[in-house]
Chain A
Amino acid sequence: MNIAVDIKNVSLSIKDREILKNINISIEEGHFLGIVGPNGGGKTTLVKVILGLIKPTSGSVSVFGASPETLITGKSFFGYLPQHQNIDPNFPASALDIVLMGRYSKAGFLRWPGRKDREKAMECMSMMGIEHLRNMHYSQLSGGQQQRISIARALAGEPKILILDEPSTGIDVVGQEDFYHLLKGLQKKMNLTILMVSHDIGTVTTYVDEISCLNINLYYHGNPLGALNEKVMTLLYGKNFDLLTHTDSCDKCERLRP
């Protein structure tokens, strides 16, 4: 099995404040990793270090054997969904225009997408079940549709690694469940390596292969069920938390849809 991302002894301080401390994580190709932890725990920063957007103070990151900084100038392995997209509702783009942005790193002269790029973009939109939205203006789409457009955009660049930072923000509970199923399907179908940052530790553990619990330090990395114990949770969130577990036979839980 190939190692997709190898993070070795990564530490990062900004203005004397420690953001990440001696992080070691190795992700195998085709695996689905969830990164959880409290706000301000360094999850987004770690993602940006992996992407090559921020240089760590010490330690190294390699992505399929190459450093992220060299990848950033060439053909990237990444499909990325940033945490806060903050897109102007009047941004002059149709759904297809946004998906085509994912092809810019591969498009030819002056990054103008050609026929092949359009075909790939449409293929990704149809994979997301949103091809009928292609001519809709971005502002006319719902939160869930915008999210699917963003995933289609990230997939259009034919990435080997999909990185999603809090992707379920703005989507309702039922939508979130569908969304995680969709990701799981993509992982299997395309042998995609997926890294997903989330605050929703309960749901994430159901879908991911491995979990990393991060709060400046890495407190746990491994099987998702192993993270759901008091010791790890106390290290991660402090003492003020209640760990609720739900099973299939739990009579207090009401499923929101059949």
Chain B
Amino acid sequence: MLEVISSPFMQKAFMAGILVSLLTGLISVFIVLRKMSFIGAGISHAAFGGVAIGFFTGLNPLFTAIIYSVAVAIGIESTGRKGRISEDVSIGIFYSVSMALGVALVSLSKAYNVDLFGYLFGNILAITQTDIILTVITFILVSGFIVIFLKDLFLSAYNEELAQISGVRVVFLNNLFLISLAVSIVISIRIVGIILVSALLVIPGATARLFARGLVSMIALSCLTGVVSVISGLLISYEYDIAPGASIVLASAFIFFLSLVLKKKR
């Protein structure tokens, strides 16, 4: 155990992992309450297109992924709201096209030494000091957004029309939420990877909802589920040399199913 804690790369992984779990734990509450699980999965897969643009152009893949994912998130929201095509169809199209674009750009790019597996499933070794600083900044911005708009988010999760007649600017709020979601997804990619990040957006919130009696307790339980999943997942990843994304998601799924059984027994 000491060996794990004392190794510098694991310290970075734990630091980044805990921040990511708090970030996704916060977002997850509203993903679950607003029934947006599919949009979370859609944006995270679409992020692959953004990462590949970075590989292809030589720009920082995290930077291109943030820009691309925010654009996709707003695109999905606005096409769905205008009613031209339904939101689930729009997500289905955006995410498969982005994955295809990603594969095409990675094939065309000359960067053969690219850590594709790491981007897809997470890589503890890849976490840098810059990643941690970026995660801290994102965490401060996203948690600030959630604290400021907590009641607006709560009311629009309860009923969007009621929120509107109470003076909540619903479209503005949704767009801000989607931007926070897209940025949080990209920031979490280093730890859990593109394919599995959507689990961290759903499972902590879903677990918390089983027991929470109020919004604040749901947020606390969701973050706790995320932190426990990430810490145990990272330890398993280190011990058995498994991609961290997989071990973290399996740990969170274990907590969820255990909670489900406990809830039924109560």
Q: By DSSP majority rule, is chain B's interface helix, strand, loop, or mixed?
A: helix
Instruction: Knowing A93-B158, A101-B155, A104-B155, say if A74 contacts B167 (CB, 8 Å).
Output: yes
Highest count of chain A CB atoms <10 Å: which of B157, B166, B169:
B166
- C-alpha spacing A72/B167, complex, angstroms: 6
Q: By DSSP majority rule, is chain A's interface helix, strand, loop, or mixed?
A: loop
Contacts of B1 in A (CB 8 A): none
Is the CB of A85 closer than 8 A to any CB of chain B? yes
Contacts of B159 in A (CB 8 A): 82, 85, 87
Q: Is the CB of A92 within 8 A of B151?
A: no
Highest count of chain B CB atoms <10 Å: which of A52, A75, A111:
A111
Nearest-CB residue, chain B, relative to A113: B151
Q: Is the CB of A72 within 8 A of B165?
A: yes
Q: Is the CB of A53 within 8 A of B166?
A: no
- C-alpha spacing A88/B212, complex, angstroms: 13
Minimum distance in angstroms from B130 CB to a CB of chain A? 33
Q: Is the CB of A92 within 8 A of B166?
A: no
Interface size on A, residues (CB 8 A): 31
Is the CB of A220 closer than 8 A to any CB of chain B? no
Interface digits, A37-70 against B, CB 8 Å rule (1 contact, 0 not)? 0000000000010011100000000000000000
Q: Is the CB of B165 within 8 A of A88?
A: no
Is the CB of B126 closer than 8 A to any CB of chain A? no
Instruction: Knowing A85-B159, A90-B209, A104-B151, say if A53 contacts B214 (CB, 8 Å).
Output: no
Q: Can you give 17 A-B contacts (C-beta < 8 A)?
A: A51-B161, A52-B165, A73-B167, A74-B167, A80-B161, A90-B209, A91-B157, A92-B33, A93-B215, A97-B214, A97-B215, A98-B158, A101-B154, A101-B158, A104-B155, A104-B166, A111-B151
Pairs of residues from A and B, 5 with the lowest C-beta to C-beta distance, nearest first:
A111-B151, A105-B166, A92-B218, A92-B212, A104-B166
B residues engaging A (CB < 8 A)? 33, 35, 147-148, 150-152, 154-155, 157-159, 161-162, 164-169, 209-210, 212-215, 217-218
